[in-house]
Amino acid sequence: MKKSILALVALIWSFGSFAQDDCFKKLEDAFTKRGSYTIADEMHRNVIISFFTSEGTECVSGKVRVENGTIVSIFLQYDDNTYELFDKKFYNAKKTAPQITNGISEMIFSADGEKFRVVFIDKLKPKQKSFKTVEVPTDL
């Protein structure tokens, strides 16, 4: 267990540069502006897990399994591209499986008091294209 905790701390530390710019806020803003595709019931291999601490927000890579529209398992990714199961019990504020809305989970709480949200970065809709405007000559 100590090895897992130390590894998690090292992983979060390695992503410390994300925390300086509040990585979650940037993601949330993008999803609010652009929207999300539907999150299917399957293993999603490219998610961002945003941990909320007293020092700010720390974002790490991971993967999650979704069943019936809820998150049922979480895996954290390490520097060597391996994954480890987040083996702590987790739940939403109602003590049930966390739901997903617009590509982002609701706040998730672990049995140890951690708070985090899962962002399905691959499901972010693309930026809308805008037309290139031109000036029409007045002497036509």
DSSP letter for each residue of 33-51: HH-B----SSEEEEEEEEE
The answer to whether the beta carbons of residues 27 and 122 sit under 8 Å apart is no
Cα 135 to the center of its chain, rounded Å: 42
Q: Does some domain include residue 90?
A: yes
Q: Does some domain include residue 128?
A: no
Task: Give the pLDDT score at 8.
Answer: 45
The answer to whether the beta carbons of residues 39 and 120 sit under 8 Å apart is yes
Q: Does some domain include residue 131?
A: no
Q: Does some domain include residue 130?
A: no
Q: Does some domain include residue 60?
A: yes
Enclosing domain of residue 10: 2-123
Per-residue pLDDT in tens (0 to 9) along the chain, 140 residues: 444 444 444 444 444 443 446 899 999 999 999 999 999 999 999 999 999 999 999 999 999 999 999 999 999 999 999 999 999 999 999 999 999 999 999 999 999 999 999 999 999 999 988 888 888 888 76
Task: Give the pLDDT score at 12.
Answer: 45
The answer to whether the beta carbons of residues 62 and 48 sit under 8 Å apart is yes
